[in-house]
Structure 1
Amino acid sequence: MAAETTFDIIIAGGGTAGCALASRLKAGNNSLSIAIIERGSDDHANPLVMHAHGRPQLEGIGLDTPYSSAPQKHMDGRIIKLHAGNLLSGSSAANAGFWMRPDRKDLDAWAEHLGGEEGSERWTYKSLLPHLKRIESHWDRESSGEAHGFEGPFKTRTSPGLPLRDPVHDGLASLGFEDNLDNSNGDPFGTGRHCDAFTPLRQPAASRYDLSGVTIILNATIHKVLLEKMGGEDVRATGVELVDGRKLFASKEVVLSCGAYRTPQLLMLSGLGPKEELSRHGIEVVVDSPHVGKNFFDHSGIFIPWKLDSTAAEAGLALGHPKYMANQTFLEAFPIDWMTIGALDPDGLKEQLQKDSRSSTIPSTHPLLAHRAHYWLAATYYAGGSIIGEDMPDIPMDGNYITLNTVNFLPTSRGSVTLSSSNPLDHPVCDPNYYATHHDRHVLREGLRQILRLAQSKPLQPYLLATGQIAPTNFPPLSLDSTDDALDARVRKSAITIHHGMGGASMGKVVDARMRVKGVKGLRVCDTSVFPAPVSATPMAVVYALGESCAEMLVREYA
């Protein structure tokens, strides 16, 4: 550990947002002394990290931490693993690497959640666009410079054209999805090319952002934020205390970037949170902040494995087949060609929202009744592992199977992050409360029906075995004749998390428009826990933009 014990700014957490924030802040004001405190190690160059296919093995070597969810009341009491990276670079070194931007309406809704608070316009799509452009070197150099950047630290790429590319595309087209030549310009609807951030090696945050001049303290778990009462009701963050008792001080700010699972926990361990929750664990209440740990949510989805027709399987169309494995270009690509984003019919959706609100007067201006990116639909050219849910037969990675999948992008179910104890080494209790609303059940049912239509589409029929749908033990295969109850039962048994924990320290509730924790001076939050509402995308690009935006604010404040 460095000899210094006092810095201008301490960033708690060296993950996706933390690395972006530290790098841009140092570049913007070199005179600032900045420290990143990371509970994990610096293993971002580990071959299992750098190669996408090593991702499932990261848990076994301690670089990917599974947080067991609370038993999910609306998913038959299942306990679901919620994964997060446990190393410098955070989940950018452990995720699937998808590079997506959400529907612009999702980000505009963030500003609306702030209710006109000063600075709320910073979170509109228009305001975040310069940061989204700054971070990318977009794969298509012919794309509009108004929408994309070409000199950023993260190079994106698309599929090289895998063997099932055309049949899957034509199957999606037969369902009515139009081509979207640029699905990452704030208008993601229709079928666009899958895009990720591999080159083909992974690009973890710490490898792409310049952290020279930043003090990085590794293998250091924070116990709590040090808070000083200034007289009256004023409270100031002055640093952090580690679990081994060491104290590090910040003369200007502490920024929490520990992620949606750990940041709410650290706030509560520090005495910032709901009075009842803190008192239950014997923690002194410094600021009674009732919304800490609330408004926690996650993307969930369902993945249906399908066996290929024997003739198609012999052609080497899926990951695991010797012919597929012999093609180095295929091996270096994520096994997916297309990402399709769909909106639901507002009439059916309105009925579900009425059930959830117990009102018959849902206005037509309700934000979810607009043309929104409610779900994704995709075909992935392998099957197996944790993506297929519970009680499934073993599926060998032999090139005989693909997976059709759908994800609920705009869940209305809300859960919580609470403390399991006052010990910072214990995991928090994470309860996403999946599938709690009629809205969310409707979205995944409709997504499942789209999967079934895709499987029966004329372009895919020659490739999928008619009886090839794989179902859990004691569950019949689904069909377009399946009832809502049957679809719900399948979701409860087989739906999974996409590991996109968000909320818990939300803008407008826990932090203000400048990401400052309400009731405390010198303390901010910069990670997915500040999301006030979901985004219709894998969140990595938005998280980088979040870090860049926070850095811009701090550079201006400490100029």
Structure 2
Amino acid sequence: MAHLAADYIVVGGGLTGCLIASRLSQSDRKPEVILLEAGPDPYGNAAAAGFLSGLSLLGGELDYAYQSEPVANTAHRIHSLNSGKALGGGSILNFGGWLRADALDYDEWADVVGDKRWSYEGFKPWFRKSEHFYDASADADQHGFDGPMDVISVSASLSGARKYLLREPVKTAWSELGVSLNLQKDNGTITGLAEMYENSRNGMRQPSYTAYPLNDVKVFTETIVHRITFSGSTATGVELADGRKATARKEVIICAGAYRTPQILMLSGIGPSTTLSEQGIPVVYNSPHVGQNLHDHFAIYLAFRLRDPSAGYALGSAAWQDPALFKSLPWDWVVSQPLPAEIITKHESKAEKQKRNLYEVITLYVPPGIPGIPIDGTHIATSTMLLLPTSRGTVSIQSSDPKDPPRIQPNYFSTPLDRDALIHGTRQTLKAILTAGPMKSIVESETPPSGEGLDGLTPLTADASDEAIEDRIRRTGMQHHHSGGTAAMGKVVDVEGKVFGINRLRVADASVIPIPLGGHPQATLYAMAEQLVSMIIDDA
């Protein structure tokens, strides 16, 4: 690549980067757009095409698999932080869940930054623009039918062929615990038992670079960006790790994700001045919040032994013969719930906060990589996840070399509210799977994971002590790879993603999300990027 120039340079070819580069290139003025991605093009990689096969990609060449600093509150464990290192980014590693946050979560975002465009009502046009919703009779105010991202329920996918035997028992179990069915999600509420929606096309993955075509974009893969270049306080382009440069006539837009974006900013001289000085990086703009406010969905996976593995309840059983059952992850339902008043009022006095969903539970008819648990039809699993964690971590740099990974301290499970919320959510999960409805006759017991560092774990029961549940969480809990917040809107960038103190530089990825949100991030990120790129086009 010789010295290049374009109107826009997009750094990072992940979920939002591909969308923004595509939308810019297709806009009326037909600007020249360069997209720079550190990883390879995964096209033709068979494992990247499917969801279950995609499990094999974790920790491989298409995954940064960053290693965290030891986390004191999780038994000083080092966590492996999956992050897509390929064109498409996380959209070639995720499991396809298409779950918006609650309307109240978006409204809090709008309140925090003082801009209603980031409220639920502000988001709705961009949800509709990004979605190709499967049910044409659905509420047209809530869903879009002409967007690029195919969105379908599990029960409707593959013409209804995915019929999991535990669908009704799981539904009945949660109903017995008082969780209301919420299929329509009226007014944007996700509270209750809702059906899982997926972003898939005929059961296959739909990466961002296929949904948002890059035909008119100059795409460079396996190209590491070192830093932004400047003329005074104006971004002029980028310098690559090999010393080559590219010039942006209009803007540089960073879409490198919650871990890499703050690293690029700091390598460019934008960040906490003390950190920059320690690494010998000239300060372009002292921005102390760069790399702060890291939030993620911390969770605990539990495995449950089935009484009759031959019944065909779980993947790996000989009774699983229909190929449709192997498309996407085997799941049906997602539960989102607030805490009981007696727990939440110990921590939060505001009435609106007491209504918020603080944990999520998903039942999977396969144990997805739980240490020591075989995938042979003998076990199902659950994920119990904090939706609105109050713990915050940091991202920093360990050197001025762009090839060195960032230094990441997630600081999971570090607040009393997070502790109480996840213990309660875990107990509700144990009740649902072990004691409620028909599940109690299907499931024999919880099976603890096994392996290095996991000696001495015993099965959890629905009446296990808080201390036993907390110990299990600290020893086995892990994140859901839903990180954000490290270049937060209102702290590092303004409400249109423009970096404070710098001209012609924006951030447009999960790092700008100022607070944790419920749901799973991709549905929010596509809509967020649609709105941000519309702002870029309007500025032009």
Q: Give the TM-score of the pair, scaled to structure 2.
A: 0.95
Read off the aligned partner of 1:425 and give its amino acid letter.
K
- Per-residue Cα deviation, 1:192-247 (whole angstroms, up to 9, x for no partner): 11111122110000011121211111110000000221xxxxx1100000000000
Helix, strand or coil: the match of 2:490? Answer: coil
Secondary structure of the residue aligned to 2:66 is strand
Question: Which of 317, 335, 338 is the matching residue for 2:333?
Answer: 338
Q: Do residues 461 (structure 1) and 404 (structure 2) align?
A: no
SS, match of residue 104 in structure 2: helix
CA distance in 2, matches of 1:168, 1:9: 49
1:318 corresponds to which of 296, 310, 314: 314
For residues 59 and 447 of structure 1, the distance between their equivalents in structure 2, rounded to whole angstroms, comes to 27
Map 1:107-506 to 2 at 5 A. 107-114=106-113, 116=114, 120-159=115-154, 160-183=162-185, 186-199=188-201, 200-229=203-232, 235-310=233-308, 313-324=309-320, 326-353=321-348, 363-365=349-351, 368-369=353-354, 371-385=355-369, 388=370, 392=371, 394-454=372-432, 455-465=434-444, 467-470=445-448, 472-506=454-488
- Residues 327 and 428 of structure 1: CA distance in aligned 2, closer, same or farther (over 3 Å): same
- Structure 1 CA distance, aligned partners of 2:457 and 2:187? 41
Q: CA offsets per residue over residues 82-133 of structure 1, 9 Å max, x none?
A: 101111111011111110110011111112112x3xxx22211111111111
Question: Does the Cα contact within 8 Å between 1:227 and 1:239 map onto a contact in 2?
Answer: yes
**Do 1:101 and 1:185's aligned partners in 2 also have CA atoms closer than 8 Å?**
no
Contact 1:296/1:415 (<8 A) preserved: yes
Q: Is the 8 A contact 1:177 1:190 kept in 2?
A: yes
Superposed displacement of residue 142, structure 1: 1.9
Which amino acid is 1:111 matched to?
Answer: A
* Residue pair 1:302, 1:494 contacting (<8 A) in 2 also: yes
**Aligned twin of 1:42:** 41
Give the superposed CA RMSD.
1.5
- The structural deviation recorded for 1:475 is 2.0
**CA pair 140-473 structure 1, distance change in 2 beyond 3 A:** farther
CA–CA distance in structure 1, aligned partners of residues 58 and 170 of structure 2: 32
Amino acid at match of 1:315: A
1:237 partner SS: strand
The corresponding residue for 1:548 is 530
d(CA) in 2 for partners of 1:345, 1:57: 39
Secondary structure of 2:473's partner? helix
Q: What is the alpha-carbon distance in structure 1 between the residues aligned to residue 356 and residue 234 of structure 2?
A: 41
Residues in 2 aligned to 1:8 and 1:257: alpha-carbon distance in whole angstroms: 16
Partner of 1:358: none
What code does the residue aligned with 1:368 have? K
SS of 1:65's partner is: coil
1:320 positional shift = 0.9
Q: Return structure 1 stretches of 4+ with deviation > 4 angstroms.
A: none
**CA separation of 1:132 and 1:438: change in aligned 2, threshold 3 A:** same
Distance 2:28 2:221 in 1: 23
8 Å CA contact 2:133–2:145 kept in 1: the answer is: yes
Aligned to 2:100: 101
> Aligned equivalents of 1:493 and 1:413: distance in 2?
17
SS at match of 2:222: coil
| Aligned amino acid, residue 317 of structure 1 | Y
The secondary structure found in structure 2 opposite 1:74 is: helix
- Give the 3-state SS of the residue equivalent to 2:495 in structure 1: coil
The answer as to whether partners of 2:22 and 2:213 remain within 8 angstroms in 1 is: yes
CA distance in 2, matches of 1:485, 1:352: 19
Contact 2:96–2:328 (CA under 8 A) maintained in structure 1: no
| CA contact 1:308–1:468 (8 Å) conserved in 2 | no
SS at 1:323 equivalent:
coil
Once residues 267 and 39 of structure 1 are traced to their aligned partners in structure 2, the CA distance between those partners, rounded to angstroms, is 16
Cα distance in structure 2, aligned partners of 1:347 and 1:456: 23
In structure 1, C-alpha distance between the alignment counterparts of 2:403 and 2:77, rounded to whole Å: 24
CA contact (8 A) 2:47 2:57 kept: yes
One-letter amino acid of the structure 2 residue matched with residue 134 of structure 1:
K
Q: In the alignment, residue 61 of structure 2 is paired with which amino acid? A: G
Deviation of the 1:267 alpha carbon: 0.3
Report sequence identity in percent: 36
CA spacing shift, 1:90–1:185, aligned 2, 3 Å? farther
- The answer on whether the counterparts of 1:102 and 1:184 sit within 8 Å (CA) in structure 2 is no
Work out the CA distance in 2 between the residues paired with 1:35 and 1:546. 21
User: Match of 2:275, SS?
Assistant: helix
| Local SS of the residue matching 1:202 | coil
Deviation (angstroms), 1:28: 1.9
Aligned-residue offset at 1:61? 4.4
Describe the shift of the 1:348–1:547 C-alpha distance in structure 2 as closer, same or farther (beyond 3 A): same
Point out where structure 2 has 5 or more consecutive residues left out of the alignment: 155-161
Look up the equivalent residue of 2:178 and give its one-letter code: G
TM (normalized to structure 1)?
A: 0.92
1:272 positional shift: 0.4
CA contact (8 A) 1:17 1:544 kept: yes
Per-residue CA deviation, residues 242-290 of structure 1 (Å, 9 max, x unaligned), is 0000000111110000000000000000000001111111111111111
Residue identity in the other structure for 1:314: S
Query: Relative to structure 2, which stretch is displaced further, 183-192 or 296-305?
Result: 183-192
CA distance in 2, matches of 1:63, 1:185: 38
Q: CA deviation at 1:4?
A: 6.0
Cα deviation, residue 448, structure 1: 0.7
Q: Is the 8 A contact 1:93 1:204 kept in 2?
A: yes
More displaced stretch, 339-348 vs 284-293: 339-348
Give 1:54 deviation, angstroms.
Answer: 1.6
Distance 1:383 1:297 in 2: 25
Partner residue of 1:77?
76
Q: Which whole-Å CA distance do the structure 2 matches of 1:84 and 1:488 have between them?
A: 27
Consecutive unaligned residues in structure 1, runs of 5 or more: 230-234, 354-362
* Aligned-pair CA distance for 1:56: 2.2
Shift of residue 333, structure 1, vs aligned partner: 3.7
Amino acid at match of 1:192: A
- Go from structure 1 to structure 2 and tell me whether the alpha carbon gap of 1:183 and 1:82 turns closer, same or farther (over 3 Å shift): farther
Report what 1:51 is aligned to.
50
- Partners in 1 of 2:73 and 2:166 — Cα distance? 36
Q: Distance in 2 between matches of 1:497 and 1:252?
A: 37
TM-aligned CA distance change 1:60 to 1:439, over 3 Å: closer
Closer, same or farther: CA 15–48 of 1 in aligned 2, 3 Å: same
Shift in Å, 1:483:
2.4
Q: 2-side partners of 1:548 and 1:10: how far apart?
A: 17
Counterparts in 2 of 1:153 and 1:185: CA distance versus 1, 3 Å: farther
Q: Check the 8 A contact 2:13/2:88 in 1, yes or no.
A: yes
State how far apart, in whole Å, the 1-side matches of 2:184 and 2:518 are: 16
CA displacement at 1:29 relative to structure 2: 3.0
